[in-house]
Structure 1
Amino acid sequence: MGRVLVTGMGIISAIGENLSQNHESLRAGRTGIGDATYFESQYASKLPFGECRISNDKLKALLGLEDSLGYTRTCLLASKAFEEAIQDAGLTREQLSDANTAFISASTVGGMCLTDQLYDDANMKSSGSEYLDAYGCSAHTLRLVDRYQISGFTDTINTACSSSANAIMLGARLIKTGRAKRVIVGGVDSLAKYTVNGFNALKILSESACKPFDENRDGLNLGEGAAYLVLESEECAAGKKVYAEMLGYGNANDAYHPSAMSDEAIGAIRCMKEAITMAGIGSEEIDYVNAHGTGTNNNDDVELFGLHELFGEIPPFNSTKSFTGHTLGAAGAVEAIYSILSILHSELYPSLNITNPVRTFDTAPLMEFEANRPIRYALSNSFGFGGNCTSLVFGRSN
């Protein structure tokens, strides 16, 4: 099985409209969590969100879609990040249409970001809107397939918060087994009443900016965004800029509870072990962990327990959700890109908002920006509802 190399990245989140802006915000410790401007909800003025600071009209203008119909915010965010990724990788129209190019995306809310419009259309309270074919989880994928004439394998994954991590894993498997030569992988989610009301019912939304791994953490903030990576075989990547190598992945499901992880971190430990083993390295060689780190009591406690069980002495770790909020189906790809930026630039970014860091197992998250910190291998964790746990290992490409 050949190497899987990352040759392109594109991202839009609460801390930037592109890769460069996201990197600058990480270095500056600048959060994107705050008041929502474009999200219409009774909670918009009551809770903080990680909203992308760009309107749908501006997104359409940037993408040349002013006259296009049926594009939800989910579709627009996905299109923005996708286009940056393929341009970054230098992919041509011919390469995108090649049967050896696959596309795997992920989302949890999909077009249901238009919750009220969906209700009206479904209950025949409208005459039929332009969004009738846009409500599905895969609608954004189909839009991109049609726009770029992608003819290879395509799929849309929904495994809750591990969705885009699983998209990355599946893409890497396609390349390793020779079923594709390049795969565009990632995910998207936009803010929606559907998800905000659901998470609010679980009583896990914080009324302030989230503080993962703080002793006084009280919940998460929901965010939105999209991120895509271009994975290519060594043959296709020859002579190209390479950001990192996709070395290992693992997926496990502890099936403990619909919205909580088992206290024994069964799924988390297993997927981390699988990813590290597949990477062909020892756990002691992991230099950095981008933790799932939602800021809820259950997640942070269980993840720390799993990290301690696996590593003993836990490597430097953080939660970049304190910058973006929890972007759900996009989170795995967003945090994979942040992990690669740490490797590429030899940098570690802080977990924000912490005043009283957890001291469990005599460890604490990163709280300050660190430059000139060589990172050979990084582990990125994504844990979803139902206990669907995925870990990815990225390494330097040389």
Structure 2
Amino acid sequence: MTRRPTVVSCGLCCASGTGAGAAYRASFGPSGALFRELGGCGLFPLPRRASVRVGAACGFRSSRLPRCAQILFAALDEALADSPLEGIARDRIGVYAGTSVGGILESENALREILEGSENSDGAFKFYECSSVAELVAKKIGARGECSTFSTACSSSSLALESACLAISEGRADAAVVCGADTLSRITVDGFGSLMLLSKSDCRPFDAARDGINLGEAGGVMVLIAREFLGGRRAIAEFLSFGSTCDAYHATAPHPQGKGLEAAISLCLKSGSIEPSEVSYYCAHGTGTGANDSAELAALRAVFGEGAPPYSSLKSAFGHTLGASGILNAIVAAAALCDGVLPPSAGYSSGASPEPIVSPQKTAGKIALSASLGFGGNNSCAAIAKGESGPKSPAGASARRIFVYGAGGASANPDLSKPLSARSRAQLDSDSLLPDIPVLKKRKWAKLQRMFLSASRGALAAARGARLGERACVSCATGLGMASETQKFLESVLLKDSPLPTAFTNSVHNAPSSAVAEMFGCRGYNCATTAKEVSFEAALMEARARIRGGSCDSGIVAGGDECDFFAENYARRNPLPAGAGAFADSCAAYFIGAEGACESAPAAEILALKIRRASKRAEDEEKRAIETLAEAGLSPSDVSAWFCPCRLGGAKGRTLEFLSGRFGGFEYLEDFAGRNYSASAFGILASLGRGAGIFAQYSLSSTSMAALTVWRVL
């Protein structure tokens, strides 16, 4: 990383209360010391799981916000107490959040009330959108830079950290507020219970007698700034490098030999020019399940041989905090390096090779690794250095150009050259997708997964000889994720008291990205981004950064959403503007890469991509668009056509009308592909049959995030 991201403050709220220091000290306690029975937490009635022991968060102020935000804001207040962002321009501060389920608890309660006959519970469903986590933080602190949420199950906040560091390294941000938060909920407790993964007592990571996980809650925050802005601020730690991969093996189970994690650790070490012997601590994912811990140990042995560093898991202290576990690990690992004492793996007795730390261990080391694993075979590893002591020079930036080699789509409109027929909703028949795959084989995939797989197959069919494998990433965007499967699971629990294991495993936002990786053997970086109407641009940004940075050579980038209960709820709460298109199932996918990523000639080249908070003045938006074009050596007169995903109402609608008038008219993608959070994914696809030329797309979200994408059709 060319501009090294420096940690200047942290905040944490979890089972030990509010305070990063308190959490670090609590990590030295006995296994399960902070756990309580779920039935005594007063969160929700779930009699079958009442005796399950959990690490419920405490020490935060109650408010009308969702519990996830309440916990996160307690951590945020701690992280911002000493004004670490003072003097940094607001439009140069990004917010990057990681969460597995976001405000699902409040959505569960609202759904229960609706099923019981209430008509006044719709509002809580807005918190189902994982993007609300980042948006709430950005609003609270006034950040106006990039704002996106990563939802890759238990590795979510680790990918948020990586994205923030890359944004600083590339110069897209000068500072970043990185968040991770998840709470207990019916879907997580009953979901993991349906998979028989909950411990009957207190978890014992890596122990021979381990029998499962204890779920926990946490909100964690790290404030990062570029080193040149450090000034008089104290540097707690620096991020040296990351390694992120995908097993492409199974929807929930890790590769039994830990091959994906092995690759992630190796990539992290290589990217940071770190020798294995320089690592003084490995903060493990260590859930206490048989499959996870065995895979993690196999990866450690493969990378380090007989010289594995001291390691431990924090899950026996705080429980498995799901999407927050990555940032919790990073905060405690940084504290351990600063304090010089490593926390033990509480509850461990015997059975692991190599064995974890079983008592506090002093260290003079300067580098720690923090690992996270998630559903879908998602693996992430971060290298953290004490203070400013990072011993290695950062790798140079890559100037690789990014090309589009193939495009594909799955839409309720069979002919995208013609407008979608006028109706309120347009749904795909999921059974018609992937027609060559036997029904019994494809029934494991829900509708949205089939849409992503079908669109991705179309993109790869157009990209002859696409180079995939360990250097290929998958970056998928979705505003609402696997909403139908979430609804199916919750209704079965609420109405029948019968959790559905398959609906649970398919409920995570990264279910499509992991399915794509598994089908096509993409074992590089894998993520699911969500950022309302600019979700696709956020996903494209992530893939572009990995390819430009050299950790990947190619990738599948896709955006899709389905017309479901949650989309209909949005329509009820938000009056649609005049001329709005039909809510529709749709997905578009692209195979992109550096030069030579496949045998086919490229169809297009990505020239510019900017994401930031929009100005309230339409004239300012015009000026910024012209500046972005100028950076690519272009002017508005060079653009053959302008696209815009969806019409908006009110002031935002007036901004779109002004820009449309200034730039010669917008073509609205909702007219052809339908209206949903991922409509912006269709812009490049819509341009490919029009001959060579420059095309631009201006996307404006309902929360005032603006994205401008510019590409050349070749």
TM-score (ref. length: structure 1): 0.91
Determine the C-alpha separation between the residues in 2 that align with 1:34 and 1:124.
30
CA separation of 1:279 and 1:259: change in aligned 2, threshold 3 A: same
Which residue matches 1:388?
378
Of 147, 165, 176, 1:154 maps to 147
| 1:138 and 2:138 correspond | no
CA separation of 1:236 and 1:213: change in aligned 2, threshold 3 A: same
1:319-358 alignment, distance < 5 Å? 319-355=313-349, 357-358=350-351
Q: Is the 8 A contact 1:4 1:232 kept in 2?
A: yes
Q: Is the 8 A contact 1:9 1:88 kept in 2?
A: no
Which residue matches 2:20?
19
Which residue matches 1:128?
120
Shift of 1:120: 3.6
User: Secondary structure of the equivalent of 2:172?
Assistant: coil
Shift of 1:140: 2.4
Which residue matches 1:63?
none
Determine the C-alpha separation between the residues in 1 that align with 2:128 and 2:49.
22
Which residue matches 1:34?
36
Shift of 1:44: 5.2
CA separation of 1:316 and 1:247: change in aligned 2, threshold 3 A: same
Determine the C-alpha separation between the residues in 2 that align with 1:118 and 1:390.
34
Alpha-carbon deviations, 1:58-117, whole Å to 9, x = none?
513xxxxx5xx4x1101111111122112245334x74x611100000111111122542
Of 235, 252, 258, 1:265 maps to 258
Shift of 1:270: 0.8
CA separation of 1:44 and 1:197: change in aligned 2, threshold 3 A: closer
In structure 2, the gaps of 5 or more residues are 390-714
Task: Work out the number of aligned pairs and report it.
Answer: 381
User: Secondary structure of the equivalent of 2:154?
Assistant: coil
1:48-197 alignment, distance < 5 Å? 48-54=53-59, 59-60=61-62, 66=63, 69=64, 71-88=65-82, 90-92=84-86, 95=88, 98-120=90-112, 125-129=117-121, 130-197=123-190
Alpha-carbon deviations, 1:261-308, whole Å to 9, x = none?
111212101110111112211112111100110000000011000100
1:212-291 alignment, distance < 5 Å? 212-291=205-284
Percent identical residues? 30
Q: Is the 8 A contact 2:279 2:309 kept in 1?
A: yes
Determine the C-alpha separation between the residues in 2 that align with 1:88 and 1:328.
28
Which residue matches 2:50?
45
Q: Is the 8 A contact 1:51 1:223 kept in 2?
A: yes
In structure 1, the gaps of 5 or more residues are 61-65
Shift of 1:43: 4.7
Determine the C-alpha separation between the residues in 2 that align with 1:169 and 1:137.
18
The one-letter amino acid paired with 2:366 is R
Q: Is the 8 A contact 2:133 2:149 kept in 1?
A: no
Which segment drifts farther, 258-267 or 124-133? 124-133
Shift of 1:29: 4.5
Larger strand share, 1 or 2: 2
Q: Is the 8 A contact 2:241 2:383 kept in 1?
A: yes
RMSD over equivalenced CA pairs, Å: 1.8
Determine the C-alpha separation between the residues in 2 that align with 1:105 and 1:352.
29
Shift of 1:23: 2.2
Which protein is bigger by CA-based radius of gyration? 2
Shift of 1:25: 1.3
Determine the C-alpha separation between the residues in 1 that align with 2:280 and 2:22.
25
Determine the C-alpha separation between the residues in 2 that align with 1:116 and 1:179.
37
CA separation of 1:151 and 1:226: change in aligned 2, threshold 3 A: same
The one-letter amino acid paired with 1:42 is P
Which residue matches 1:379?
369
Determine the C-alpha separation between the residues in 2 that align with 1:196 and 1:286.
35
The one-letter amino acid paired with 1:45 is A
Determine the C-alpha separation between the residues in 2 that align with 1:102 and 1:76.
21
Greater RCO (CA < 8 Å, at least 6 residues apart): 1
Q: Is the 8 A contact 2:92 2:145 kept in 1?
A: yes
Shift of 1:139: 1.9
User: Secondary structure of the equivalent of 1:368?
Assistant: coil
Shift of 1:317: 0.5
The one-letter amino acid paired with 1:368 is S
User: Secondary structure of the equivalent of 2:341?
Assistant: coil
The one-letter amino acid paired with 1:390 is S
TM-score (ref. length: structure 2): 0.52
Which residue matches 1:295?
288
Shift of 1:121: 5.9
Determine the C-alpha separation between the residues in 1 that align with 2:43 and 2:301.
39
Alpha-carbon deviations, 1:146-204, whole Å to 9, x = none?
22222110001001111000000000000111110001112100000111111011111
Determine the C-alpha separation between the residues in 1 that align with 2:140 and 2:16.
27
Q: Is the 8 A contact 1:250 1:271 kept in 2?
A: yes
The one-letter amino acid paired with 1:340 is A
1:308-323 alignment, distance < 5 Å? 308-313=301-306, 314-323=308-317
The one-letter amino acid paired with 1:296 is T
User: Secondary structure of the equivalent of 1:110?
Assistant: coil
Determine the C-alpha separation between the residues in 2 that align with 1:47 and 1:325.
12
User: Secondary structure of the equivalent of 2:61?
Assistant: helix
Determine the C-alpha separation between the residues in 1 that align with 2:317 and 2:30.
8
Determine the C-alpha separation between the residues in 2 that align with 1:75 and 1:186.
11
Of 359, 368, 378, 2:359 maps to 368
CA separation of 1:377 and 1:89: change in aligned 2, threshold 3 A: farther
Determine the C-alpha separation between the residues in 1 that align with 2:287 and 2:27.
17
